[in-house]
Amino acid sequence: MKNHSPAFERSLRRQVDAAVQGSPALRKEFARRSHLGRWRRVAAAVGWVFVVGPCWGLPALLALEMPFRPAGPATLAVCLLWLGGWFAAIWAEAGEWETARLPLWPESPGGLLTRHWARLRGLAAYWGLAAGGGLLGLGGAGGWTLPAWLAWALSVLLATLFFAAACVWLALSFPPRLRSRLTTGIIYGSGLLFFLEYQAANLLHQPDPPAWLSPVLTQGLRILHWLLPTAWPWAWLGGIKDGAWQPAVWLLLPTLGVIATLPCARRRLERAVGRAVEHDPITPPSAAVAASSAATPPRNAAGEISVPDIWFAGRSVPAGWWDRRLRHWFTAREQALADFAFPPGTRLGGAWRRIFTHAGLTLLLGLAMNHVSPAGRDWVLVTGGALVGAEALVSVWSTGRAFERGLRGPLGLPATACFPRYAVLGIGYRELSRMLFKHSVIQLPALVFLGAAGAGLGFALGYGDGWTAAGWGARISLLCFGLGWGQRPLQFAESNQIWPPLFAPSVLVALAFVLGYCVLACFAVITGDATSGRWLTAALAEAWLADRAYGRLYNRGFFDLTRPAPGGY
């Protein structure tokens, strides 16, 4: 089923084209729109490739690595990254579609279910193709036989079906509360259980496991293999390597199970829609009135909002002890600026809480590494790293909200401060930049999280020394900080600041440069290459230069959208 009639749309398109071609004025307007839209379409298409590109590149790199190392933790990391991103993307899309739009239109819950499926299957198929295509490289390098290829293809097909169905199920079951925290919790929880499972497996393969423990562990592992998505890639690869079909069977049953429970989800949706209709305050009048009166800034005699008065726009000041301590570092004006830039207030303590919540598990796993076998360390850290990677991947999609500002920390914070917005308010670049820098530094603990991920990758590549891993963590932290600041101007580039035909190519070239640099620098830093210091220095220097150059343009009013356009366009 489609959500629309392709024949109707096709016929309408033909008639629209004929009408446009028949009128010179429409033709001219159409050409103007198409000209602008062409670059937008190119940017969107190429941008998407850039976003997903690393997904395709990693398997290729792994495939290159395969002749030298058997498929191991790094392969699993990629699988986890794919599955996490895949899952979160589809789920976020499902939630966005369900909660925002469909209730407006006349459709029953059963119809919503069908339309969900019609909407999501394309996205699910894309990820299926990405996973299948990317791992072709692995198969090629691993010398798979025809049965192994077929088993893999069937597994990917079923995995696609399973994830799409599961996402529809979740979207239908929890429509008002589709939040990334639950996704994150599922991914982390599954990762933790996988770690426990792996440790149990290690115990099982000890020379002399206790006789009473062996059957318990065997049964327990079998159940866990069925239950844990994070365990499936491992099992698939292990099975497929031998040309076995068990992975497909494992997938088939949960897929059928999810599909069988979709009617239950539909009933849940009916109840949820009923609750939403009963209690959803679309426009709570009292809140709207209160907000409008609180947000009214004082005006001068002429009735205009003066620049200093903008600070009175009803910002909430965090009242926690930790927030008050942190805010001592900011001047009064910087505090006001921070409150204005990050409404409804800086809430630095809240950011730390989020950071520690997310970093805690990784750190605990890191500490536990000292007590696990060397092989286990790889798995632990790679699992953590892959989970971070999955979240990082989701963060770049507009529909994914897995990474919030506090979690992204220094890497993501610059992205949330929209400089052009303030260019007309008479705020100096230097004070704005200084405030951002302080705000970023305060959130430095987030780098522990990124550092642990880097350390995980390092362990996966065979560097098992704790100090070395700590060094990686520090270097990766600095690298992320530098890259975060360095790419800031790129994130704020807007088409009305650059001549439109040059906009897309210039941004894409810059993006390609940044991405290429990121990949090379990360590899150099992670592998402990002798040139890693230079890469780091270059990243920080680039950040400094970009900051200076952007500031210069800013202070010259280059981003003031009220000024006359250069070149008269």
Partner 1 sequence: MNVELRGLVKTWGRTRALDNVSLTLAPGQIVCLLGANGAGKTTLLCTIHGLIAPDAGGVWLDGRPFRRSDLELRRRMFFLADASGLFADQSVLRNLAVILRLYDADRPENEARVLSIMGELDLLPLAREPVGTLSRGQAYKVGLAALLAADPELWLLDEPFAAGLDPAGIDALKRHARAAAARGRTIIYSTQLLEVAERFADRACVLHQGRVHACDTLAVLRERAADQDNPLQEMFRKLRESAG
* Number of neighbouring beta carbons within 10 Å of residue 67: 10
State which of residues 68, 104, 146, 568 lies at the interface with partner 1 (CB under 8 A).
Answer: 104
Compute the distance between CA of residue 547 and CA of residue 391 in angstroms, rounded to an integer: 27
User: Which of 182, 227, 288, 549 touches partner 1 (CB under 8 A)?
Assistant: 288
The answer to the question of residue 282 lying near partner 1 (CB under 8 A) is yes
295 binds partner 1 (CB under 8 A): no
* Residue among 86, 77, 54 nearest 381 (CA): 77
Shortest distance (Å) from residue 563 CB to partner 1: 21
DSSP state of 281: -
DSSP 8-state symbol, 228: -
64 touches partner 1 (CB under 8 A): no
Contact pick of 35, 37, 428, 513 for partner 1 (by CB under 8 A): 37
What string marks each residue from 235 to 274 as x (binds partner 1 by CB under 8 A) or -? --------------------------------------x-
Check residue 285 for interaction with partner 1 (CB under 8 A): yes
Q: List, in order, residues 6 or more apart from 415 with CB less than 8 Å away.
A: 408, 484, 488, 491
Nearer to partner 1, 125 or 200 (CB): 125
Interface region with partner 1, contact rule CB under 8 A, candidates 164-172, 196-204, 285-293, 296-304: 285-293
Q: Which of 286, 300, 370, 562 binds partner 1 (CB under 8 A)?
A: 286
Residue from the set 29, 309, 431, 465 that interacts with partner 1 by CB under 8 A: 29
Q: Which stretch binds partner 1 (CB under 8 A): 11-19, 221-229, 431-439, 530-538?
A: 11-19
Cis previous bond, 285, omega within 30: no
Are 425 and 310 in contact, with CB atoms under 8 Å apart? Answer: yes
Q: Are 355 and 347 in contact (CB under 8 A)?
A: no
Q: Which of 24, 215, 281, 567 binds partner 1 (CB under 8 A)?
A: 281
Residue 103 engages partner 1 in binding (rule: CB under 8 A): yes
Q: How far is the CB of 264 from partner 1 (least distance, A)?
A: 19
From 95-103, 159-167, 476-484, 549-557, give the range in contact with partner 1 by CB under 8 A. Answer: 95-103
Sign of the dihedral through C-alpha 546, 548, 549, 553 = positive
The one-letter code for the residue type at 97 is W
**Cα 554 from Cα 560, distance rounded (Å):** 8
Told to check if 42 binds partner 1 by CB under 8 A, we report no
DSSP letter string over 297-308? Answer: ----TTSPPPTG
Asked whether position 26 contacts partner 1 by CB under 8 A, the answer is yes
CA separation for the pair 180, 396 (Å, rounded): 14
CA terminus-to-terminus distance, the chain: 46
4 binds partner 1 (CB under 8 A): yes
Sign of CA dihedral 293, 298, 303, 307: negative
Region near partner 1 per CB under 8 A, out of 70-78, 136-144, 281-289, 356-364:
281-289
24 binds partner 1 (CB under 8 A): no
Query: Cβ 97 to partner 1, closest distance in Å?
Result: 8
Distance CA 309, CA 303 (A): 12
Burial of 63 (0-12, 13-18, 19+ CB in 10 A): buried
Taking only Cα atoms into account, the Rg of the chain, rounded to an integer number of angstroms, comes to 26
Q: How far is the CB of 293 from partner 1 (least distance, A)?
A: 10
One residue of 11, 145, 316, 496 binding partner 1 per CB under 8 A: 11
Chain contacts with partner 1 (rule: CB under 8 A): 3-5, 8-9, 11-13, 15-16, 19-20, 26, 29-30, 32-34, 37, 40, 100-101, 103-108, 273, 277-278, 280-289, 292
